[in-house]
Structure 1
């Protein structure tokens, strides 16, 4: 008799009840082992009780802002949760971030933002770009060229130049819509028109047109397409890089929201739990659309560069910079990168950087400016000071010439941006993954821990911000930043993994403040309406209805 036959005959001696008993014993053994490990764990921190198999997924929502705020209120400034087989530590106090966020190129302990997960691999972001790249060496390589592309003085001046070019187009669409139902002598060719618009939608299209041309060197026409959706009088734009910009903008927003699901949920939850299964399928289809679009853009630009004679000057956009890096056509004349072997970027790496630029750029700037406008409308004294400062730098009756050096003089406007970033940060959290044992906040932690910097709670911590719920830009106006804790305000993160687009975002926000509030009066259509926000890893402003009219 073979061994297999012996096993079969042995198993057939069991009754159905015996199998149920074995299953129950196995289950109870697992549960006992699960809770034994939990209750005997070192460095016990407060936090919700994990359940067998699902851990803390029973309390999971994609809205990390509400989730982490609730954890801080219930369990304090440092607490723990268990998700996807890992311990996660939520930190809500600036002092606990000293070691984690202090820049040090010699200490890579806190350089990894997120661990490698099969979720991020499935989403196409593991080991690529900057946002979810767990490979420190590859991240440094990509970060070097990303910085080179977006932090140069020529790039920043280009941001201001394109803001100057694109805003008149936006104004033309607004005026046309205001005149839509008027005719003959009633046409409002002067400055007496009024229009109700969804400012979040329009700024989103403006920001998308800005980012597309800055990153790829070619125009998209998101504003024109959005105008055509609302107006029977259509405009035609043929020289467009992205044919369906509305689909593209929606796809970027969906990809951002999808990050949370692929970060926190394991494969079983994503693909077999009905409440998530349909969402995941849509997100993967959306991923494929974005990847194909970026691959085609890269292929098109690479061919153009190859067909351009050597010696002819190439344009200086981010895409060209990435394609030519470490080649004979290098537009930045790259010499070295921290001793690493010089090599060109692969198409996969270029796509990862382009995707991250759009993920971290368009929607975040749109939401940040929408929040700024919302608070200015609710605080007329603050708006009056903003307008007065803008008028002092850009006099209403003088020729208008917005440039970067003048934007730097807008100290009160900058204070408003900082206060809105404090009270309504776009990013809800910044994760850090530690592969080796470490010490944080006086606790010793084992390897493979994910720390989550709870931005909302840090920005409203009463030990650092008097009356944190009150909107008050004076906190930042002509104040010494060293007077407060250096990590009490972290809208762009901090340390070596801070947001490389922080300067770009600030310049674009200042430019929009000048362009909009210098010429127009803005008021909310409904002062009692709350902000319409969809929150995941970041907050996205879904709607901001305002009434806009030219200033007298």
Structure 2
């Protein structure tokens, strides 16, 4: 009997010692850290989450009332490092040279006059499409329909269509796909539009999950992410992130090939003529080349031989002289998609309810 009791004590001894060693290492790393700035005292495993839950108002005041030009500044975070979020894109990128180049690349693309003009026109088109589907849903026979319209999914599908068209100049038809699941009498059942995505619903779900993974990995210690229950959630986040990146990379590679073909067939002669007659600082005119004004095309064009790399205004001190890889562009576009699909959804929903009669 005593032997069994001592075996049980040994069974619990290892996890207790492991926890004790982890606490010792945690506080050793805390007190010997570089640039020990003042802040709330962290606890092992949960870190500073307790202070965020206890004083959320103080946190918001510290962020929004800070006297600097940046909303947030990313500190070293092993969770975001695992997601590769600190080495690509804009939100958490800690590579100063790449972040600076990406920011100016996005700024130049979004302020392109043709891009802004086309964006306004297309938003009106996709808004009218959404109203048409809603009118069709309202006039349908309730007995034949029998399904409830989920406005959160509805607006999410609309924002996905608008965002992906502005990025790729191709239709995702997420709204049409969702509308076809609501009404058996929908015209979409007779002629379903072809989407650039294999599954628009899965794309929206993967985008939302990827944004959620930022919060999860940023505030969850690595030790917790390895525990049963959390480990499965981590795997789910990775699977959805990889699926999202595959979809975006396929779109990028397809557009890159299209640009190469157009360069060889059409653009070459016109571009030479433009370079002879215009100064090198003038903006490239899409209407003369047959190029679309979408965001992805702008990214790839600026990263080509006549790209932003050779423009000292957008590449000071030659901080980014190499071409952007498909992985870099994928990370940048995913953030743009996330901003359009997820964070804009609530504003679009509010605007729709306020304007629709």
Q: Among residues 320, 324, 349, which one is paired with 1:345 in the alignment?
A: 324
After superposition, the C-alpha distances for 1:342-398 in whole angstroms (9 at most, x for unaligned) are 44322111111111101122111102333xx3xxxxxxxxxxxxxxxxxxxxxxxxx
- Say whether 1:249 aligns with 2:204: yes
Written as runs of structure 1 = structure 2, the 5 A alignment for 1:372-521 is 373=350, 512=351, 517-518=354-355, 520-521=356-357
What's 2:108 paired with?
148
Whole-angstrom CA distance in 2 between matches of 1:33 and 1:263: 20
Whole-angstrom CA distance in 1 between matches of 2:195 and 2:170: 7
What's 1:217 paired with?
169
Contact 1:112 1:136 in 2 (8 A): no
Whole-angstrom CA distance in 1 between matches of 2:87 and 2:199: 29
Contact 2:149 2:182 in 1 (8 A): no
What's 1:240 paired with?
195
TM-score, with structure 1 as normaliser: 0.50
- Say whether 1:115 aligns with 2:76: yes
Structure 2 unaligned blocks of 5 or more: 1-6, 271-288
Q: Among residues 299, 311, 317, which one is paired with 1:335 in the alignment?
A: 311
What's 1:177 paired with?
137
User: In structure 1, the residue corresponding to 2:98 is in which secondary structure?
Assistant: helix
TM-score, with structure 2 as normaliser: 0.75
Structure 1 residue 254 displacement after superposition: 0.8
Contact 1:295 1:351 in 2 (8 A): yes
Structure 1 unaligned blocks of 5 or more: 1-15, 61-66, 78-89, 104-109, 184-194, 374-511, 522-552
Structure 1 residue 46 displacement after superposition: 5.1
Q: Name the structure with the higher helix share.
A: 2
What is the aligned length? Answer: 317
Q: Name the structure with the higher strand share.
A: 1
Contact 2:173 2:195 in 1 (8 A): yes
Whole-angstrom CA distance in 2 between matches of 1:72 and 1:113: 19
Structure 1 residue 92 displacement after superposition: 2.6
Evaluate the alpha carbon distance shift between residue 313 and residue 93 of structure 1 in structure 2; reply closer, same or farther with a 3 A threshold: same
Whole-angstrom CA distance in 2 between matches of 1:122 and 1:33: 21
User: In structure 2, the residue corresponding to 1:289 is in which secondary structure?
Assistant: helix
After superposition, the C-alpha distances for 1:37-79 in whole angstroms (9 at most, x for unaligned) are 97999876555x614xx2537x57xxxxxx7353246xxx3xx
- Say whether 1:322 aligns with 2:299: yes
Evaluate the alpha carbon distance shift between residue 313 and residue 25 of structure 1 in structure 2; reply closer, same or farther with a 3 A threshold: closer
Aligned residues: CA RMSD:
3.9
User: In structure 1, the residue corresponding to 2:196 is in which secondary structure?
Assistant: coil
Structure 1 residue 126 displacement after superposition: 3.0
Contact 1:112 1:135 in 2 (8 A): no
Structure 1 residue 224 displacement after superposition: 0.4
After superposing on structure 2, the runs of 4+ consecutive aligned residues of structure 1 that deviate more than 6 Å are 20-30, 32-44
User: In structure 2, the residue corresponding to 1:230 is in which secondary structure?
Assistant: coil
Structure 1 residue 23 displacement after superposition: 10
What's 1:443 paired with?
none
